[in-house]
Amino acid sequence: MICLRHAEAEPPNWDSADGTIVTDPPLTRRGRHQAKATTNLLMGKEPKKVFVSEALRSRQTGEIIASCLGAPIEVVSALAEASMGKTDQDPAIFDLRAQILRQWIVNDNLDDRLTDGESGHSVATRMKNALYDIATKCQGSPAVVVGHVASLTVGVSALCNNGPSLWNKPLPNAVPFALTLSSNRWHVKWPVYSER
């Protein structure tokens, strides 16, 4: 399968009308260009289907890719980003979130979590199940999977047992990478970060 993090999205921000946080932001103009540029890299791959999470940024990225490649879209709720709970949008705990992700990815300590967030076990299990299911559905032809930085990293780490090699190599927006299952073993070609 061909996986990628969604294209650049607007940051969650305060809604000036009622002071609530926008938690499902759309793609930026740059993000739309990134998604379109990704389709050029995927030409000739003839994906069977484009799989996206329920998040608007994933769906919009997938819609652009699917439209250009003539592939149908399927929403898979298990591809959601790792939830850190009510504190997801709180910049004051950014370092704490990073520490928990490091525990999950580098130290394979999937027990860590914020009070109301998911455990690493939950993220790894749902991502592994979703990716196995997609691989089963698309045997013989590629699938495109549009996911999120933390959940994709945790899922790939759990499947390939390569977490420490992924740390400090954040997934760039809309850069495809290959994730394959062969002889019951998963292999990944992790992308190198570059500004797009």
Residue 31 has pLDDT above 80, yes or no: yes
Residue 184 has pLDDT above 90, yes or no: no
Token couple for 36: 């379109």
Q: What pLDDT is stored for residue 16 in this prediction? A: 47
**Higher pLDDT residue, 41 or 87?**
41
Span 140-152, average pLDDT: 95
Residue 1 has pLDDT above 50, yes or no: yes
2-9+24-83+126-188 maps to which CATH number? 3.40.50.1240
Question: Could you tell me which of 159, 196, 161 has the C-alpha nearest to residue 179?
Answer: 159
Domain regions of the chain by residue span: 2-9+24-83+126-188
Question: Could you tell me which of 133, 129, 156 has the C-alpha nearest to residue 143?
Answer: 133
Q: How many CB atoms lie within 10 A of CB 144?
A: 28
Longest dimension (CA), the chain: 54
Residues 66-100 pLDDT 10s: 999 999 999 999 999 998 766 555 666 777 888 89
Q: How many CB atoms lie within 10 A of CB 112?
A: 16
pTM for the model: 0.91
CA distance 39 to 48: 14
